[in-house]
Amino acid sequence: MSRILICATQVPFVRGGAEYLVESLRDELRRRGHTVDVVALPFQWHPVERIVDSALAWRLLDISHVNGEAVDLVIATKFPSYLIRHPRKVLWLVHQHRQAYDWYGTPLSDFDGSPAHRAVREQIFRIDRRALSECQARYTISRNVSRRLERFNGLSSTPLYPPSRYAERLWAGPYGDYILSPARLDRAKRIDLLLAALARTTTPVRAIIAGTGPDRDRLQRLAAELGLGERVSFRGFVPDDELIDLYAHARAVYYAPVDEDYGFATVEAFGASRPVITTDDAGGVLEFVRNGENGLIAPPDPAAIAVHLDRLANDATEAARLGCAGRPLVTTITWDRVIAALVGAGE
């Protein structure tokens, strides 16, 4: 058995898919007899000029030995954790610093295009190319992330899908009368599109929005402005058991982020035999969702999404057909496969 360190970037007070992925990987490695811990450093991206400092902090660490014993393998996850030095460094990339890459020049980026910000972006590109080239093997969490790595850095990688932490607990109940949105409340998840679509439906379909995040106040104001009233319920943080139950009884799951890296909501919806309503620019979500086969895909337009909401609200049998077709796609996403690849690459 190996002594393994997982390197993870932590934004204080924020928990999401990346944090759950790291914790699940740690636990699954331990179950298989490995000695495992997580090394996490806080990440500061504002002001933009501080980003390189956060990256260099990882470069200065020496974790080749701990308490006089060698560390056999390091698994790096997202920027800038992969700057760590180790002779057996394996990458399982969640994402790079997207504000400097595919979000650059959009409202989702903090970079303003000034000479100072362009210089920081060029530094990020240089340090990424060097650090990522050092890895003994490069895996990513999706084909979408692999495509970005090839496009921007010219580096090849292998997609390796992570299982949901709920994978063995998800179940399928009756198809209820609500659409579930289980995403973090920030602008990139585009829950505002769901609210605008609800205001255009011909059926009084409800939505339950489970999650927290910085966009909550704006979304609640928008729901009020649209006159949605009791048709929308903002549940905030919900415990695991409650979220699993919400999946099990939803009519469908709405998940339409901007060019998502992967999206646990998709595989969780399919694990509960729920169809997914998404958009044609949702990124990693589209590696699973097939329009009319296991979900419904629309342009990122409220009127188009409203048509899909009405379709499923009016036909529970159709929701069941689509949802059941999605489940087989996620049964092959297992921790055995993930760990065999990551640990095997470091040998």
Q: What is the CATH number of the domain that holds 93?
A: 3.40.50.2000
Within a domain: residue 172? no
Q: Is there a single domain that holds both residue 113 and residue 230? A: no
pLDDT tens-digit readout, 142-156: 999 999 999 999 999
Q: Is there a single domain that holds both residue 12 and residue 154? A: yes
Q: What would the two tokens of residue 50 be?
A: 């501080």
Q: What is the mean pLDDT of residues 78-93?
A: 96
pLDDT tens-digit readout, 106-138: 998 999 989 999 999 999 999 999 999 999 999
Q: What is the mean pLDDT of residues 197-203?
A: 98
pLDDT tens-digit readout, 228-255: 999 999 999 999 999 999 999 999 999 9
Q: Is there a single domain that holds both residue 218 and residue 326? A: yes
Q: What percent of the chain has pLDDT over 90?
A: 89
Within a domain: residue 343? no
Within a domain: residue 56? yes
Q: Is there a single domain that holds both residue 11 and residue 121? A: yes
Out of 160, 188, 216, a domain closes at 160
The tally of domains found in the chain comes to: 2
Q: What would the two tokens of residue 13 be?
A: 């007070």
CA distance 127 to 155: 13
Range of the domain at 224: 178-330
DSSP string, 30-71: HHTT-EEEEEEEE---SSGGGHHHHHHHHHT-B-SEETTEE-
pLDDT at 347: 67
